[in-house]
Structure 1
Amino acid sequence: MLMNFLLLFSSISIGLTNSNWLVVMLMVEFGLFMVVFMSSNYLSLYSMRSVFKYFFVQSVSGLVLLVSGISVFMLNSPSVCSEIFLLSAILLKLGIFPMYFWVLPVYSESNYMILGVVGFMAKILPLYIYNFYVSLGPSKVMQIMSFFAVSSIAMGAWLGLPAKNYRTFLGASSVAHSGWFILASHSSSILFYFWCYGLSFLLLLMMMQMDHKIMMALNTLALGGLPPFSVFLGKLWVIYSWVENSMPLVVIMMALLFSVVSLFYYLKFSFQMMFSSSNSTFGFISFSLVLNFTSVFFFWM
Structure 2
Amino acid sequence: MWIKMLPFIIIMIVSMLLTISANSWFTAWIGLEINLMAMIPVLILTKGQESPEPAIKYFLIQALGSSSMVFFILLMKTQLFNNPVTSLMLSSSLLLKSGVAPLHFWFPSMIEDSSWMACFYLMTVQKIAPITLMVTNLPSSIILASAVLSVVVGSLGGLNQTSLKKIMAYSSITHLGWILSSLHLNNYLFMMYNLTYWMLVLSIINPLDKLNLMNLNQITNMNSNMFIKSLIMFNFLSMGGLPPFMGFLPKLLVIQAMIQNSMSLISSLMVIMTLLTLFYYIKIVITIMTDQPPFNKTNNPTIPMISNYPMMVISTSSIGLFPLASLLFYSF
TM-score computed with the length of structure 1 as normaliser: 0.81
Contact 2:44 2:55 in 1 (8 A): no
After superposition, residues 91-240 of structure 1 pair within 5 angstroms as 91-134=95-138, 138=139, 142-188=140-186, 189-211=189-211, 213-240=229-256
Distance 1:44 1:200, change over 3 A: closer
* Cα deviation 1:206-228 (Å, max 9, x = unaligned): 22223365443222212111123
Structure 1, 87-96 or 36-45: larger mean CA deviation: 36-45
* Cα deviation 1:28-66 (Å, max 9, x = unaligned): 111111111122325977542122222211111122223
After superposition, residues 289-300 of structure 1 pair within 5 angstroms as none
1:126 is displaced (CA, Å) by: 0.6
Distance 1:86 1:39, change over 3 A: same
- 1:243 corresponds to 2:259: yes
* Cα deviation 1:159-180 (Å, max 9, x = unaligned): 1111112101011112212222
Q: Identity of paired residues, percent?
A: 24
Structure 1, 3-12 or 250-259: larger mean CA deviation: 3-12
The 2-side partners of 1:82 and 1:54 are apart by: 25
The 2-side partners of 1:22 and 1:190 are apart by: 25
The letter of the residue matching 2:196 is C
1:122 is displaced (CA, Å) by: 0.5
The letter of the residue matching 1:204 is I
More helix by share: 1
1:95 is displaced (CA, Å) by: 1.7
Q: For structure 2, which runs of at least 5 residues remain unmatched after alignment?
A: 212-227, 292-301, 305-315, 321-332
The letter of the residue matching 2:22 is N
Among 249, 254, 268, the alignment partner of 2:283 is 268
Contact 2:61 2:97 in 1 (8 A): yes
Contact 2:135 2:143 in 1 (8 A): no
1:183 is displaced (CA, Å) by: 2.0
| Larger-gyration structure (1/2) | 2
The letter of the residue matching 1:95 is G
Contact 2:49 2:115 in 1 (8 A): no
What SS does the corresponding residue of 1:226 show, helix, strand or coil?
coil
The 1-side partners of 2:303 and 2:44 are apart by: 34
1:192 is displaced (CA, Å) by: 2.2
Among 1, 6, 10, the alignment partner of 1:2 is 6
Contact 1:42 1:48 in 2 (8 A): no
The aligned counterpart of 2:19 is 15
The 2-side partners of 1:228 and 1:43 are apart by: 35
The 1-side partners of 2:75 and 2:241 are apart by: 39
Give the CA RMSD over aligned residues: 2.8
The 1-side partners of 2:109 and 2:208 are apart by: 19
Structure 1, 253-262 or 2-11: larger mean CA deviation: 2-11
1:258 is displaced (CA, Å) by: 0.5
The letter of the residue matching 2:62 is Q
Contact 2:100 2:146 in 1 (8 A): yes
TM-score computed with the length of structure 2 as normaliser: 0.74
The 1-side partners of 2:6 and 2:251 are apart by: 33
Structure 1, 58-67 or 168-177: larger mean CA deviation: 58-67
Distance 1:193 1:66, change over 3 A: farther
